[in-house]
Amino acid sequence: MSELKVRKMTLDDIDDVLEIENKSFLTPWTRQSFEREIRENMLAVYLVVELENNIVGYGGMWMIIDEAHITNIAVHPNFRNRDIGSYLLKSMIEYAEKLGIYRMTLEVRKSNIPAQRLYKKFGFESCGIRPKYYMDTNEDAIIMWKG
């Protein structure tokens, strides 16, 4: 596989990110949500993964004092099962650690076993449940922490 590159997301990336978002989630974020995160949220950091100059994945997190809260992470369906998710999550962890942030948290759907496996691979542990967290299906979220 060609070399993957990670970089900060820009407003110009939003069309590609929305394609991934819409193919990955039942209730996708809107263009306005991503624009607001990039333009206005001073706590937000969003990264994209490129393969041959095409965006194939992205992830976002909020840096809150000494913790990073992963808000979203997704890989284009045509590029899954190629370790791109691992590369992206590793890059997000490294980004946070460069800022001195070693504790990270996220919520993941109870049914999303592949994502849970990925997070566990990087040291995240299940620490609780948010009942009916996902409004679209009333599915529970598993709260996971690293560090």
Give catalytic residue positions: 107, 119
| Alpha-carbon span 92 to 85, nearest angstrom | 10
The pair of three-digit structure tokens given for residue 103, joined into one six-digit string: 């504790």
Residues linked to residue 48 through DSSP beta bridges, in sequence order: 7, 58
Measured in whole angstroms, how far is the alpha carbon of residue 2 from the centre of its chain?
A: 22
Residues linked to residue 128 through DSSP beta bridges, in sequence order: 143
The pair of three-digit structure tokens given for residue 8, joined into one six-digit string: 């900060």
The pair of three-digit structure tokens given for residue 107, joined into one six-digit string: 């919520």
